[in-house]
Structure 1
Amino acid sequence: MPQTDLTLDELWSYRPQVSRPADFDQFWSSTLQESRALARQTVVSRAETPLTELAAWDVTFSGFGGDPIKAWLLHPSGPGPFPTVVEFIGYGGGRGWAGDRLGWAASGFAHLVMDTRGQGSAWPNGGPGATPDPHGSRPAAGGFLSRGIDDPTTSYYRRLYTDAVLLVEAAAQLDVVNPARIAVTGTSQGGGVALAAAGLSTLVRAALPDVPFLCHLERYLQLASADAAGELRQYLSVHRDSTPQVLRTLSYLDGVSFASSVRAPVLMSVALMDDISMPSTVFAAYHQLESADKEMAVYPYNGHEGGGTTHWVRQVKWLRSRL
């Protein structure tokens, strides 16, 4: 696949104007406060796994609207507390099985993997979900991005971003977690969710968004090849008069707007042959970061798989130097 977007030199200088609503901060502050008021106690129980060298726990925490959301918690044997990585999952995936992601815990971190409400049925080789989304929406075009898209208060991603922030807050209350050493990460959709969590929570001390989706959403909608972009274009091809409302909703969900509130250290990645998380959309968010300590890992000949394990090794080294 050839490069899908601007040249690398152009990307380093790409700073588009992305609409940030005047009430953006108030919208998210009130959203979070409403769900905190409905919060229930986090429940942690032993996970049934064959793992013997790592501790594995099944977690249920209180997300948007007080909804129960599942997560896995893995950590090294011993009491801790440990520096902690909270991970969010890519589009269509769920938390999977407790033993699917062992790298962070085997590297000395506590690791929380959030289930993605309503998702977890798109990956044949793993990633089943265990959390329903009990909130309905008006007609949508498959997938998740178009659910409730006519109004920011009903958007699916309002619920998902809230879940993410409240998991960080729940993590900080766990005995095995060092609340002063919490990082967030994720790939694709998970990277976009990590950016939102880092922009909304002061508990996040480092962020590692990997080829993040959900950035510069108007350009993404116009150029990205498939997945959520195709679903939303399909929606707009039917609901022809909805474009102004849809773009307004997207402005409350855009990773570029969250990036302008991120002050923690950030290691981001981009792949120049990615036709899903378009490179220009990733750089648009990167350039808005307020972080004094930020890095972009560029993979010129990769697509949406990004840097794979090569990048994860870099993430571990980078995070150890900051947490």
Structure 2
Amino acid sequence: MVFIRATQSSSDIACIAVAPLSIQPFGVEPTDFDAFWTQQKQTLAQIPINPRLTLLNTLPSGAKVFLLELDNIDNRKVYAYLSVPAGTGPFPAVISLPAFGDAPVQPEPLIMTDFAERCNSINLYISAHNAPPNLPDPNAYKPDDLSKKDGFYARTMIMAGIRAIDYLSTRPDFNGSLGVSGMSQGGGWTIQLAGLDKRISAAMPINPAFCEQDGWRFERASGFPNYVLVGRNLNVDSNKTLTNMRYYDAVHFMKRYRGALMFQVGYEDDVTPAATQLAAYNKYRGNSTLLTMRERGHTYPFDEYFLGRYAFFEQHLIGFKNPFNFKAKFLADAGNDRTVKDTAVLEPQFLVNNEKNKVSNIQWAKIEGTGNVGFQTENGKTVARFSQKGKYLLRVSADFDYKLADPSVASYYTLTDFVTLDVGESSNIDVCDSDKEAPNFSNCPQNIALTTMGTSALANWTPPTVADNCGTPSVSSNFLPSQSFPIGATKVIYRATDSKQNTAECSFSVIVTKGDSSTPPSKNDLAISLTSVVTTPRPHSFTTFKVKINNKSARTFTDIKIQIPFPSGIVTGGAATSTLGEWKEWCSNNDQCFTWLIPQLLKNDEAIL
């Protein structure tokens, strides 16, 4: 995954994800991960819950809001707002986990009370700290000793969540159906709890933190709280930090969760980078809905989060009532786990807003298994053939667009489900041994037409992508982008060859024609603008200029030279960057002039200096 941030004249962010469902974590799980957390839970279990309730308010519906205090490990307390519906129940429950910080949160108005007032559900809003949620904690996030695996502050947070579930389980008005949700810190905390406590049946993490903490070690993105950097600032040995932080990485908790999952990720997130979140998501092995927001950072779409949350919990929590008209159900079904011979017919089903199979980009993939799997087709209903006996875990995924609010929000959903197949017979022949299927090109460029005043022209294009049913094919080409092409028609050929010498071609032509030098560009062909960041600079101050040229014609122009003179008395210099061509700090012997040389400007294109 590529994350790009502009640093000059803009702060725009652009992200590119290739095969997001294939992103895997770098870190290795500790061998005693389960033993460590089992010991922590056993220590907590020996401490009495000792609940203390203080009534804060009775809401108009008859629901009550309490301040709840429980005993936790290390002589700490668990503090939470507890909202309980009117009546005797039994009710489902939702635990809400906060984002990073220790700012006081008042019990009302609090959107979590909606669960009690309107959703027939108990709600627990848990503080991460050793203080009531309506008060600041002077020792928030302390101690945080990264030199010991049991010294992390997150350990007390995780135990606080488990202790809250312990308390809920003692209430006669709780029906045992439990959901948990949170954003950022709360999202990572959600995954940690869900992976440790099987009493959770539905989890909804949003932009989760604590994911892929090993990223820094491999010069890759690492999620908040970036333990490697925190350890350096605390002068903790980096090797100790790297070893100990893995006990808190959401990646390792996610693989242990088996309940329903609704996961939201923003591609432009620079706090918990999307690659780290997807590394955790891809370790999940159950039925899930992934909301991908391509142009959103460390935040959430209001409607998709709040309305989507009500619909998600209504679908997966017994007795939960959704007070809104948005009743959409999203579901993927890969079929039942079963025993097969050497082949299996796979026919997935998808439910989107209560309509069946309104999806696109259906894909099958092998996730686990000793041998190879060949799919007759990777889309929709298919036949899978297995090279060896044994158990295989297969994943099916499909995409769909569904806009709750702003239709301009670039987002889409992905549904996934898994099926385990126990293959009892096999021909022991690799499914690719008899492969006769050629590779497949996509996004093959169209013919490119250029005009030049000289003898050649530069041509640019985006190379095509190629896929194959058996591995990665080799690709060769007689020309590459940004090469110079002579006048006339030149054929560009991309050839892909797989391991069985099946081949496929993608071809197009670059057609260069001689322009009429007697017809120079008119003022309607090219438009140039010069703007300043500071419109009225102070004397002896500096400002930044931006020059933009647009080719508004149907012609391609070459060898463009732009000279930018400045009045006497202005000192010029500094750095400059351009999207095309090169710049010089002077025009011949004139130090009050800049020159910008552009070798080629395509039709309907622009360049910026």
TM-score normalized by the length of structure 2: 0.46
What's the CA shift for 1:52? 2.5
Which residue matches 1:316? 310
State which drifts further: 38-47 or 109-118.
Answer: 38-47
State which drifts further: 186-195 or 102-111.
Answer: 102-111
What's the CA shift for 1:220? 6.7
Cα offsets for 1:225-258 (capped at 9, x unmatched): 99733x852541562x611101111100000000
Which residue matches 1:74? 83
Which residue matches 1:175? 172
State which drifts further: 302-311 or 278-287.
Answer: 302-311
Cα offsets for 1:175-233 (capped at 9, x unmatched): 33222x0111111101111111111111111111111101111227866699733x852
Which residue matches 2:194? 198
Distance in 2 between residues matched to 1:245 and 1:79, nearest whole Å: 51
Match of 2:278 among 279, 283, 294: 283
**1:301 is the counterpart of 2:309:** no
After TM superposition, the structure 1 = structure 2 runs for residues 149-160 of structure 1, keeping only pairs within 5 Å, are 149-160=146-157
Match of 1:12 among 11, 21, 26: 21
Match of 1:266 among 254, 258, 261: 261
Letter of the aligned partner of 2:144 in structure 1? R
Secondary structure of the structure 1 residue equivalent to 2:18: helix
Q: CA RMSD in A?
A: 2.7
Letter of the aligned partner of 1:209 in structure 2? P
Distance in 2 between residues matched to 1:92 and 1:218, nearest whole Å: 23
Letter of the aligned partner of 1:300 in structure 2? R
Match of 1:41 among 31, 35, 50: 50
State which drifts further: 35-44 or 200-209.
Answer: 35-44
Distance in 2 between residues matched to 1:63 and 1:224, nearest whole Å: 33
- Pair 1:182–1:226, CA change in 2 (3 A): closer
Q: What is the aligned-residue identity percentage?
A: 20
**1:250 is the counterpart of 2:258:** no
- The aligned length equals 302
Retained in 2: the 8 A contact 1:36–1:66? no
Please identify which structure carries the higher helix content.
Answer: 1
Cα offsets for 1:292-317 (capped at 9, x unmatched): 21111111121111223431211110
Letter of the aligned partner of 1:172 in structure 2? S
Retained in 1: the 8 A contact 2:78–2:130? no
After TM superposition, the structure 1 = structure 2 runs for residues 207-246 of structure 1, keeping only pairs within 5 Å, are 207-219=203-215, 228-229=225-226, 233=229, 235-237=231-233, 239=235, 242-246=237-241
Distance in 2 between residues matched to 1:249 and 1:4, nearest whole Å: 33
Which residue matches 2:563? none
Cα offsets for 1:125-173 (capped at 9, x unmatched): xx6446676xxxxxxxxx7398111111111111111111121121121
- Pair 1:185–1:145, CA change in 2 (3 A): farther
Distance in 2 between residues matched to 1:298 and 1:265, nearest whole Å: 17
Retained in 2: the 8 A contact 1:95–1:113? no
Distance in 2 between residues matched to 1:277 and 1:226, nearest whole Å: 5
**1:103 is the counterpart of 2:97:** no
State which drifts further: 217-226 or 159-168.
Answer: 217-226
State which drifts further: 215-224 or 97-106.
Answer: 215-224
**1:52 is the counterpart of 2:60:** yes
Distance in 2 between residues matched to 1:273 and 1:182, nearest whole Å: 31
Which residue matches 1:136? none
Which segments of 5 or more consecutive residues in structure 1 lack a partner in the other structure? 121-126, 134-142
Distance in 1 between residues matched to 2:316 and 2:253, nearest whole Å: 21
Distance in 1 between residues matched to 2:131 and 2:268, nearest whole Å: 26
Secondary structure of the structure 1 residue equivalent to 2:208: coil
Which residue matches 2:73? 64
Cα offsets for 1:76-106 (capped at 9, x unmatched): 2222221110111111146712122333333
Letter of the aligned partner of 1:311 in structure 2? Y
| Structure with max Cα Rg | 2
**1:113 is the counterpart of 2:125:** yes
What's the CA shift for 1:269? 0.6
Letter of the aligned partner of 2:82 in structure 1? L
**1:23 is the counterpart of 2:32:** yes
Match of 1:90 among 99, 122, 143: 99
Secondary structure of the structure 1 residue equivalent to 2:155: helix
Secondary structure of the structure 2 residue equivalent to 1:166: helix
Cα offsets for 1:37-80 (capped at 9, x unmatched): 02232222312x37322321111122223522111111322222
Retained in 1: the 8 A contact 2:77–2:131? no
- Pair 1:170–1:3, CA change in 2 (3 A): farther
Letter of the aligned partner of 1:12 in structure 2? L
Which segments of 5 or more consecutive residues in structure 2 lack a partner in the other structure? 1-10, 318-609
Please identify which structure carries the higher strand content.
Answer: 2
Distance in 1 between residues matched to 2:76 and 2:155, nearest whole Å: 13
